[in-house]
Amino acid sequence: MANIQKSYYAKAQDIEREWHLVDADGQTVGRLASRIAHILRGKHRARFTPAVDTGDFVIIINAEKAVFTGQKLDQKIYYRSSTRPGHLKKVDARTLREKDPERILTEAVHGMLPRTRLGREQRTKLHVYAGGKHPHQAQNPQPLDLEKIGVG
């Protein structure tokens, strides 16, 4: 009988999660969101398992300073609805950045995560703040160099 190597399947109790701190100042929204989604899913780990939440926690600060390329600041529209007839609300990116800058990065990252129960669980590990301060000092978040994360 041949020596068969078994594949690894991560177990939820064996996963050690880390806290990462990302500064969005001057970062492009889409590129930043794809790299953060990569971390939240756990794809940066050698022991990534698609059906198990193996990702880390991510704290984003300075969300108001994230930039859009081209004319997206004026042309990109964000929609929300209460599912009632005539209740569709829309707002452009410039207005949304003034009113609720956290929502821009939150929606960008959420759009890159799975639309399943697992994806909803992974979304809870994202914390976005408009300014440079956050209430997670006790978790000792480590600064994350996004250039080292290869996505794609």
Instruction: State how far the Cα of 26 lies from the Cα of 29, in Å rounded to an integer.
Output: 9
Instruction: State how far the Cα of 18 lies from the Cα of 57, in Å rounded to an integer.
Output: 6
One-letter amino acid of 41: R
List CB contacts of 57: < 8 A, sequence separation 6 or more: 17, 18, 19, 20, 125, 126, 127, 139, 141
Instruction: State how far the Cα of 102 lies from the Cα of 11, in Å rounded to an integer.
Output: 32
152 pLDDT above the threshold of 70:
no
**pLDDT tens digits for 83-112?**
999 999 999 999 999 999 999 999 999 999
Q: 59: pLDDT confidence band, cut at 50, 70 and 90?
A: very high
Q: What is the fold of 18-67+100-136?
A: Ribosomal Protein L13p; Chain: A; (3.90.1180)
151 pLDDT above the threshold of 80:
no
**pLDDT tens digits for 6-52?**
888 888 888 899 999 999 999 999 999 999 999 999 999 888 999 99
150 pLDDT above the threshold of 80:
no
What H or E segment, with its residue span, contains residue 22?
A: strand 19-23
Rounded to a whole number of angstroms, the distance between the first and last alpha carbons of the chain is 38
